[in-house]
Amino acid sequence: MNAIISASDLASDLTGANPPVLLDVRWQLTAAKASGEPPYDGRAAYEAGHLPGAVFVDLDRELASAPGEGGRHPLPDLARFGAAMRRAGVSSGRPVVVYDGGQGWAAARAWWLLSWTGHPDVRVLDGGLPAWEGPLEKTVPTPAEGDFVPEPGADGLLDADAAAELARSGVLLDARVGERYRGEVEPIDPVAGHIPGAVSAPTTENVGADGCFLPAGELRARFKGLGVAEDARVGVYCGSGVSAAHEVLALAVAGIPAELYVGSWSEWSSDPDRPVAVGPDPR
Q: Is 238 a catalytic residue?
A: yes
- Cα–Cα distances in Å, from 59 out to 75, 77, 103, 105, 243? 11, 13, 14, 10, 12
Helix axes 243-253, 105-116, angle to 10 degrees: 70
> Cβ(134)–Cβ(16) under 8 Å?
no
Cα distance between residue 238 and residue 255, in whole Å: 21
Residues 6+ apart with CB under 8 A from 41: none
Annotated catalytic residue within 97, 192, 195, 238: 238
Which helix (H) or strand (E) covers residue 265, if one does? Answer: helix 264-268
Which helix (H) or strand (E) covers residue 55, if one does? Answer: strand 55-56
180: three-class secondary structure by DSSP = helix
Looking at the annotation, which residues are catalytic? Answer: 238
